Amino acid sequence: MAGKLTAPFWAGRELIDRLARHSPARLALVTFAAVIAVFSGLLSTPMATASGQRAPFADALFTATSAVCVTGLTTVPTGSYWSGFGQVVILVGIQVGGFGVMTLASILGLAVSRRIGLTQKLLTASETKTTKLGEVGSLVRVVVLTSIILEAAIVLMLFPRFLVLNETVGEAAWHAVFYAISAFNNAGFIPTPEGLAPHVGDWLLTMPIVLGVFVGSLGFPVILNVARRYRTPRRWSLHAKLTIVTSLALVVVGSVLYGLIEWRNERTLGALPVADKLLASLFAGVMPRSGGFSTVDVGGMHESSWLIMDALMFVGGGSASTAGGIKVTTLAVMLLAIVAEARGDRDMDAFGRRIPRDTLRLAVAVSFVGASAVLVSCLILLELTGWSLDVVLFETISAFATVGLSTGVTPDLPESGKYLLSALMFIGRTGTMTFAAALALRDRRRVIRQAEERPIIG
């Protein structure tokens, strides 16, 4: 009898091991979808809502997907619609999504056996984009330690500030923990009904959130590399240097352009003191990286500001980070290719290193697949809603890049639109290339290569 009971278990384990070795991307997608299904079920229970009634399935699925995919888009207000239990479910979903389901599997393996097996290494390598399996153990440890330490540091900075704002000890602790986890994981969920708008000029409240979002968007491989060699920046990896330099450049450019455009806009920065304008501009320059928080009314911004945010959101953050988008290294590689072509150089060089040409092919593929997903989703959403293109484009890119910023129309989405953006958030979180690889039936290996001929470009 025992043999009959354990046979399905071992058969399932063999199937998982086979998928992990031959197609870890497929297993990653299946596992991520299963986790979203679990959290959707939890949010569909009556005790998850403040009213005690079951949430519509479309709203439960949308919220669960947004939490696990660390997006932050919501069709219902988080602080008032969901009960304490529902908010805890959302917060756990954010943390699971931030760690990465595959990384979490390796964490459990470490806790049980004090080591990581080949299957877990393959799974985590797929999730974290680590190329050397020997580094996965260290990466998992730095994921856990960095998350706990930085989230705890943000909590310690936010807790006294919430106390000063006349909150009880319990409320201050809960809001500090929620904001800390939501910020570091670039989730953008807000537990307070009024949001961050009343605190637009509060440096002590907003700066910890800015730092949490920025560090979380760099990616765990960068954090691992910098932590190991923080005394010798010259020895940082090329990936770390490109990620940090490009990220800082995008923050500066985004903050400056946003400040210049919105400086006199009475619906955003116009009525604020100069110091508050500068803080709000910095905040707005960081959040499109995938943070999703806002201290001013996004719907009141000029359309040119939306366009800038569209570009910043589409790029996103660092690879293997809690941020979405096509990633900053993708943008950096394409810019380096343009510079090399303009100079007539055959190689793409950066920081004393040569970047292989297959990296450029991958960057182009990721960008094209991401742009195609946004384009198709925009076309469908335009037909479903009848909204203007600028609004639809903003919502679509925010979902794909798992940002969470909104012009305010997300709650008005039709049910079909909620399902569409849920699918888009799933694609954006699992990665365009991972999604494409998971759908591929087989690897194509070509023994015979065709004769080379150069087409005319431009």
- The whole-number pLDDT of residue 2 equals 46
- The whole-number pLDDT of residue 453 equals 77
CA distances for 85 relative to 50, 53, 71, 188, 447, angstroms: 9, 13, 20, 19, 57
- The whole-number pLDDT of residue 1 equals 46
Query: What's 79-118 look like in SS3?
Result: HHHECHHHHHHHHHHHHHHHHCHHHHHHHHHHHHHCCCCH
* Cα separation, 57 vs 62, whole angstroms: 8
- The whole-number pLDDT of residue 157 equals 95
- The whole-number pLDDT of residue 131 equals 56
Q: For 283-333, what is each residue's pLDDT tens digit?
A: 999 999 889 999 999 999 999 999 999 999 999 998 878 888 999 999 999
Q: How many residues does the chain have?
A: 458
Locate all alpha helices (DSSP H) within 114-164, ordered by sequence: 118-128, 136-164
Locate all alpha helices (DSSP H) within 165-302, ordered by sequence: 169-184, 203-218, 220-228, 238-262, 274-286
Quote the DSSP letter at residue 229.
T
Q: What is the mean pLDDT of each run of 10 residues along the chain (458 residues)?
A: 49 54 65 92 96 95 95 92 96 89 55 54 60 60 80 95 93 95 93 89 95 90 85 91 96 96 95 95 94 94 96 92 90 95 91 90 89 96 95 97 94 95 92 59 62 78
- Name residues whose C-beta falls within 8 Å of residue 55's C-beta, 6 or more positions apart in sequence: 43, 44, 48, 49, 63, 76, 81
Radius of gyration of the chain (CA): 22
- The whole-number pLDDT of residue 4 equals 47
Number of continuous H segments (helices) and E segments (strands) in the chain: 19, 2
Query: Please, what is the end-to-end C-alpha distance for the chain in angstroms?
Result: 71
Q: Where are the domains of the chain?
A: 14-437
* Cα separation, 440 vs 432, whole angstroms: 12
- The whole-number pLDDT of residue 99 equals 81
Burial 397-420 (b: 16+ CB within 10 A, else e): bbbbbbbbbbbeebeebeeebbbb
